[in-house]
Amino acid sequence: MSIHYRTLIVACVILACLVLGIAPAAADTTQYRVYSEPSGASFCVDYHCGYSTPDDFGVSPNTWHTITVSMPGYQTWSTYEGVGDIGTEVINAILVPNPVSYGWLDLNPFEADIYIDGVYYGNGEQTIPLAPGSHTLLLKKPGYYDSTTRFSITAGETFPTAIGMEPYTQSPIYGDLQIQSVPPGAAVYVNNNYQGITYPGDPVYVTQLAPGTYTVSLSMQDYQTFTQTAVVQAGKTKQITASMVPVTPGAAPDTTGQLIVGSVPSGAGIYLDNKYSGVTPMVLANIPAGSHTLVLRQGGFAEWTSAVTVNGGSYTEISGTLVPGSTPAKPAPVNPVPQPTKSGLPAVIPLAGLGICGFLVLLGKKE
């Protein structure tokens, strides 16, 4: 075998490895890899929604984000997870089917933000339907220590709560941030860590912060990113109102808008034009301007339906008050098509690479 022929074979092997993906990854990334059981569930990373499991979602290194997984017929699953310098953080969401019967949590949070099992439920007085069993309630309010309580729900019964929150001591070691945006619907990050979304009349509370300097940024579809340095002082609440500036003022009219959807109680499934879109409260971005049909569904409550008009380049707020009752069974809508953040090589490329290899080998034999 000639040296030239051996060189051709080596070149073919290298080329085949490259096109078939055997070579090392081209670049290191930081990302979440989201799985669910069952698969095909809709998931959001912070305010980025419309993805389906399994899929990858790239994020900045050394940051924390909220991953929410939901599916018609199943309870919403949520977690707040961080990523390191480089690598993949695997998220496994085991979805639990909706119960046959519900219990209720009767809650008056006195303007505190409500989180139940990691899912945000707003901050108003509510009677929230929950699956029987144990749950975790987290309350957050400026000037008070975060309150975490474990409680149990019994089917068909209402669990009344009288949970108090402890104010900071006379010599507090913490300060707080209260962040709102104009218009509402912006995602809030503090030191690049996701904190929540601003809703009308409902700012984001970031509590129990050590005194110091923090970078606050707000992101919103069709608007420039707002960034401000905030100095947090012990025992004080720093209030920030971000005036969001359109990305291209004076440009052609925007043909999409935002839809801010709420419900009383929170946690209802959102179906926009018969497509499952998540749970309330939620901001739906890139909704085509015009008329749409909105349906809210919650176990133990009658279905709520309304027409809604979305205006291009602005936001529309709508909230439904659910009435106890039953909702007729309907087939689950098709989940969103997966939108992977990184694509594999088209099948034609590996085939072309192998074809080139074969051609080079034959050419080498002739020589």
What's the whole-number mean pLDDT along residues 223-227? 95
Burial of 35 (0-12, 13-18, 19+ CB in 10 A): middle
Which tens digit of pLDDT belongs to each residue from 336-359? 433 333 333 333 334 444 444 444
CA dist 277 and 306 (Å) reads 15
What's the pLDDT at 39?
96
Which residues have C-beta within 8 Å of that of residue 95, sequence separation ≥ 6?
36, 37, 38, 41, 69, 71, 74, 75, 77
Looking only at the bridges linking them, the beta strands covering 204-209 and 237-243 are unpaired
What's the pLDDT at 30?
93
> What are the phi and psi torsion angles at 12 (to 5°)?
-65, -45
Which tens digit of pLDDT belongs to each residue from 261-308? 999 999 999 999 999 998 999 999 889 999 999 999 998 899 999 999
CA dist 43 and 237 (Å) reads 33
Higher pLDDT, 339 or 59: 59
What's the pLDDT at 350?
42
- Other beta carbons less than 10 A from residue 217's beta carbon: 16
Question: Against a cut of 0.95, is the pTM above it?
Answer: no
What's the whole-number mean pLDDT along residues 30-56? 94
Which tens digit of pLDDT belongs to each residue from 6-26? 554 445 444 444 444 433 333
Which tens digit of pLDDT belongs to each residue from 322-335? 998 765 444 444 44
Which residues have C-beta within 8 Å of that of residue 150, sequence separation ≥ 6?
134, 135, 136, 137
What's the pLDDT at 26?
36
> Looking up tokens 């975490």, which residue turns up?
148
